Amino acid sequence: MLNWRMVFAVWAVAVAAALAFGPRASVPTTLVGADALPRLPSAAPRDAEAQIAALRKASLWGVPASAPPLPGIAAAEPSLMPPEWRIVAVVAGSTDRFVVVQQANQPAMHELRTGQQLPDGSEIRRIEPAALYLIVRGNKRILRIDQQ
């Protein structure tokens, strides 16, 4: 009787030898049509300062705050931060009218009359018991005052 284990072992060794030492098929080292593929440009080293300058010049998000205003475009309004002065009182008598102003928490107070300027440069045009009529940056404004 034939020993099938022995036949199988001989057959496995023969196949392994044929695969290991037999003729080899040539494997292509390049892709077919590789010349048709697009080539990426090589990255050239660049100066970081030049790149930053180019980004600043591009104004990607509008004109920087430090840039001068563009011709034909009005300059931006000044900051809306609270001024460093306050109106302490409005005196509106029958003959004399003036505003009492205190600057930057200083104890000294100043009397300002019609035609004079407030610390922010606004001109006082008229003083009424409940309102000040001002010229602020060339525009007429009314500053209502609470009477307490």
* Mean pLDDT computed over 35-63: 68
Residues β-bridged to residue 92: 97
| Contact by Cβ (8 Å): 124, 113 | yes
Q: Please indicate, yes or no, if residue 67 is contained in any of the structural domains.
A: no
Between 115 and 3, whose confidence is greater?
115
pLDDT in tens, 33-46: 656 666 766 666 66
How many domains are contained in the chain? 1
Confidence bin at 48 (pLDDT 50/70/90): confident
| Contact by Cβ (8 Å): 124, 111 | no
Q: Please indicate, yes or no, if residue 57 is contained in any of the structural domains.
A: no
Q: Please indicate, yes or no, if residue 69 is contained in any of the structural domains.
A: no
Q: Please indicate, yes or no, if residue 105 is contained in any of the structural domains.
A: yes
Q: Please indicate, yes or no, if residue 36 is contained in any of the structural domains.
A: no
Range of the domain at 119: 85-144
Q: What percent of the chain has pLDDT over 90?
A: 10
Q: Please indicate, yes or no, if residue 47 is contained in any of the structural domains.
A: no
Q: What's the CA gap between 100 and 118, in Å, rounded?
A: 10
Q: Please indicate, yes or no, if residue 90 is contained in any of the structural domains.
A: yes
H helical segments located in the chain: 4-21, 48-58
The residue to which tokens 């100066």 are assigned: 47
If you ran DSSP here, which 8-state letter would residue 58 be given? Answer: H
* Radius of gyration, alpha carbons of the chain: 44
Confidence bin at 115 (pLDDT 50/70/90): very high
Confidence bin at 119 (pLDDT 50/70/90): confident
Question: Residue 133's domain is classified under what CATH number?
Answer: 2.30.30
Q: What's the CA gap between 102 and 84, in Å, rounded?
A: 9
Residues β-bridged to residue 103: 85
